């Protein structure tokens, strides 16, 4: 893959929430491919390209921590906003004290990953959108620390630091040894198909998780 | 309306607490939050955002465009009606088409009215795609410079709660948890690109800095003790995408304890250094 990049990302905390444990969030053991895609997209993305995550290298030992926070339970009803726009007096604000939920988060701490990914051109690509151009943009931004928005590790309160691993530069060493089955993990959400979640069977060998391409028999809905 | 900001920003906020509980942990009986492995104190991002919201409500409450969406306690001014009349949006048809333009109007309306939605974003999805905004301002967990001591203080009250209790005793005991002293460091990000989407202006940014500096002055309570913002260091990039990695900028602000042999009990026990000489080209440093 000629236009692949390797990005080192790290941070103090991370929470890649398991979809089955969302109320009191529990993180997956490792970063999901969809979270890795999100990080790449916060550096550079255009409708002309689509990021494909090839592998995720987990560098640090997997450790968890627990944080409980006061959160609000509800969301803004869109209908009320529309009524308000029509001029009906509505109370649009949310009272945190009346809609209080205390929720725990089982999060990861002290994480570092190497995301190996490439991009593919989509049908939206115009004549100006050459792969070379987009490759140049992403590598320049990753080198200079530029980003569209600061990337984060699962939730926005856990910012990610990032650095490009140059071509030919050796990969950092992973602390993990041996093979580990991580079970079924979220691969990504299919935005084109009614937000359908796709899963894959993840296994990690010496810290490396190979991310399969979507094809029949590999991912399940 | 004023234009959205065009530069990326990062900031470091140093704040301290004296004999107070900056952020209680509901999992630990409201003891100050602590990182169990290092003993460093924590203050969550949402705790700081709550104080920013409260400050903005006090400082700009009642002004159009500065309402606060996630509220605490009672609303003093329900001025929505007035705001709608001033708003130049044509009424929608009764049936609500689920198209993008419609969803955009709804989110724009909310962004226009609420400061916290413009800054931090909000989820407005009772149905898919009705509107969800990410705000430009992103804050991380604040951590103390040194391990904190969680001190438990037992207090007494010379009265009892119920009549039944009165038969047995004439006073009750309570507990307070305090940190004798802690200097905390929070780091944050402001994305110019997301600011375009929510309409977060330079005025809004100034208000954010104002709130960060003053928010503790309007958050006095029996539990908090003496909290104060000590230093706000702002890194302004020349461009929207930024000119240097955020972690390198954060490393320019270092805090060292002057006397390692005794516990810190005041801000003067620390030396804060901002390495202004090493600021990369294209980044402007401001200290407030």
pLDDT for position B76: 40
Mean pLDDT of B28-50: 93
Q: Which residue has the higher pLDDT, B95 or A93?
A: A93
Distance from CA of A175 to the nearest CA of B (A): 19
pLDDT in 10s for each residue of chain A, 221 residues: 457 899 999 999 999 999 999 889 999 999 999 999 999 999 999 999 999 999 999 999 999 999 998 888 877 777 777 777 776 666 777 777 778 888 999 999 999 999 999 999 988 888 888 899 999 999 999 999 999 999 999 999 999 999 999 988 999 999 999 999 999 999 998 877 777 888 899 999 999 999 988 654 445 54
Closest residue of A to B124, CA-based? Answer: A76
Is residue A207 a part of any domain in this protein?
A: yes
Is residue A187 a part of any domain in this protein?
A: yes
- Tokens coding B83: 């705001």
A65 close contact with B: CB closer than 8 A: yes
Most B-contacting residue of A25, A64, A96 (CB-CB within 10 A), to test interface: A96
Helix H or strand E encompassing B164: helix B163-168
- Give residues with Cβ within 8 angstroms of B104, minimum separation 6: B131
- Give residues with Cβ within 8 angstroms of B42, minimum separation 6: A67, B23, B33, B34, B35, B141, B142, B143, B144
CB-based burial, B233-264: b 16+ in 10 Å, e otherwise: bbbbbeebbbbbbbbbbbebbebeeeeeeeeb
Structural domain span for residue A142: 4-68+106-220
CATH number of the domain that residue A200 is part of: 3.30.70.2660
Mean pLDDT of B180-201: 95
Closest residue of A to B110, CA-based? Answer: A81
Please indicate whether, in this complex, the C-beta atoms of A86 and B92 are within 8 angstroms of each other.
Answer: yes
Q: Which pTM value belongs to this model?
A: 0.81
| Whole-number Å distance between alpha carbons of A213 and A8 | 22
Nearest by CB to residue A95, choosing from B36, B37, B71, is B71
| Whole-number Å distance between alpha carbons of B114 and B130 | 17
Please indicate whether, in this complex, the C-beta atoms of B242 and A70 are within 8 angstroms of each other.
Answer: no
Q: What is the pLDDT of residues B241-286, one digit of tens each?
A: 999 999 999 999 999 999 999 999 999 999 999 999 999 999 999 9
Domains held by chain A: number:
1
- Whether B82 shows a pLDDT value over 50: the answer reads no
- Tokens coding A119: 């991009």
Query: What is the full DSSP assignment across B5-70?
Result: P-S-EEEEEEEEEEEE-SSEEGGGTTEEPB-TTT-EEEE-HHHHHHHHHHHHHHHHTTSTT-B-SE
| Whole-number Å distance between alpha carbons of B78 and B146 | 44
Q: Which residue has the higher pLDDT, A79 or B50?
A: B50
Cα–Cα distances in angstroms (integers) from residue B34 to residues A24, B224, B256, in the given order = 20, 16, 20
| Whole-number Å distance between alpha carbons of B88 and B30 | 47
Please indicate whether, in this complex, the C-beta atoms of A150 and B138 are within 8 angstroms of each other.
Answer: yes
- Whether B29 shows a pLDDT value over 90: the answer reads no
Instruction: Name the one residue in this structure whose structure tokens are 């290092």.
Output: B38
Most B-contacting residue of A76, A153, A189 (CB-CB within 10 A), to test interface: A76
Is residue A188 a part of any domain in this protein?
A: yes
Most B-contacting residue of A46, A72, A92 (CB-CB within 10 A), to test interface: A92
Is residue A74 a part of any domain in this protein?
A: no
β partners of residue A204: A180, A209
Please indicate whether, in this complex, the C-beta atoms of B71 and A93 are within 8 angstroms of each other.
Answer: yes
Q: What is the pLDDT of residues B211-251, one digit of tens each?
A: 999 999 999 999 999 999 999 999 999 999 999 999 999 99
- Whether B126 shows a pLDDT value over 70: the answer reads no
Is residue A97 a part of any domain in this protein?
A: no
A72 close contact with B: CB closer than 8 A: yes
CB-based burial, A123-140: b 16+ in 10 Å, e otherwise: eebeeebebeebbebbbe
Is residue A114 a part of any domain in this protein?
A: yes
| Whole-number Å distance between alpha carbons of A94 and B6 | 30
Sign of CA dihedral A100, A106, A110, A113: negative
A12 close contact with B: CB closer than 8 A: yes
Give B72's contacts in chain A (Cβ within 8 Å): 95-97
């Amino acid at each position: 893959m000629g236009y692949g990049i390797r990005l080192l990302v790290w941070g103090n905390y991370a929470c890649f929430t398991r979809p089955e444990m969302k109320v009191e969030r529990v993180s997956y053991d490792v970063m999901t491919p969809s979270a890795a895609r999100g990080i790449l997209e916060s550096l550079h993305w255009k409708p002309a390209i689509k990021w494909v995550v090839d592998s995720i290298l987990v560098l640090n030992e997997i450790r968890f921590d627990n944080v409980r926070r006061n959160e609000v339970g509800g969301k803004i009803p869109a209908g009320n906003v529309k009524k308000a726009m029509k001029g009906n007096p509505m109370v649009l604000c949310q009272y945190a004290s009346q809609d209080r939920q205390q929720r725990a988060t089982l999060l990861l701490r002290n994480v570092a990953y190497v995301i190996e990914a490439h991009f593919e051109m989509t049908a939206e690509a115009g004549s100006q959108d050459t792969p070379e151009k987009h490759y140049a943009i992403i590598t320049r931004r990753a080198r200079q620390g530029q980003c569209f928005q600061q990337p984060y590790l699962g939730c926005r309160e856990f910012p990610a630091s990032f650095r490009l691993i140059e071509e030919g530069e050796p990969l950092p060493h992973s602390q993990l040894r041996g093979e580990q089955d991580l079970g079924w993990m979220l691969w990504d959400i299919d935005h084109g198909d009614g937000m359908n979640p796709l899963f894959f069977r993840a296994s990690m060998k010496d810290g490396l998780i190979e991310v399969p391409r979507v094809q029949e028999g590999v991912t399940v809905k | 309306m004023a234009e959205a900001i065009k530069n990326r920003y990062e900031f470091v906020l140093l704040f301290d607490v004296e004999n107070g509980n900056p952020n209680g942990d509901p999992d630990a009986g409201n003891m100050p939050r602590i990182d169990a492995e290092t003993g460093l104190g924590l203050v969550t991002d949402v705790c700081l955002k709550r104080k920013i919201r409260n400050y903005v409500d006090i400082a700009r409450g009642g002004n159009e465009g500065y309402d606060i969406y996630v509220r605490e306690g009672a609303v003093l001014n329900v001025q929505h009606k007035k705001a709608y009349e001033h708003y130049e949006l044509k009424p929608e048809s009764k049936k609500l088409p689920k198209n993008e333009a419609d969803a955009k109007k709804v989110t724009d309306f909310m962004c226009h009215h609420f400061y916290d939605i413009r800054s931090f974003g909000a989820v407005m999805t009772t149905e898919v795609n009705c509107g969800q905004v990410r705000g430009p301002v992103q804050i991380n967990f604040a951590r103390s410079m040194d391990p904190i001591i969680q001190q438990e203080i037992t207090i007494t009250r010379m009265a009892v709660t119920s009549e039944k209790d009165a038969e047995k005793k004439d006073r009750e005991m309570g507990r307070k948890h305090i940190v004798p002293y802690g200097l905390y460091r929070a780091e944050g990000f402001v994305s110019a690109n997301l600011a375009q989407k929510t309409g977060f202006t330079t005025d809004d940014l100034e208000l954010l800095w104002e709130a960060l500096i003053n928010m503790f002055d309007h958050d006095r309570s029996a539990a908090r003790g003496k909290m104060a913002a000590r230093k706000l260091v702002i890194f302004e990039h020349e461009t929207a995408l930024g000119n240097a990695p955020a972690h390198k900028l954060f490393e320019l602000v270092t805090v060292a304890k002057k006397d390692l042999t005794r516990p810190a009990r005041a801000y003067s026990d620390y030396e804060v250094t901002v390495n202004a000489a090493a600021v990369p080209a294209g980044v402007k440093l401001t200290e407030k």
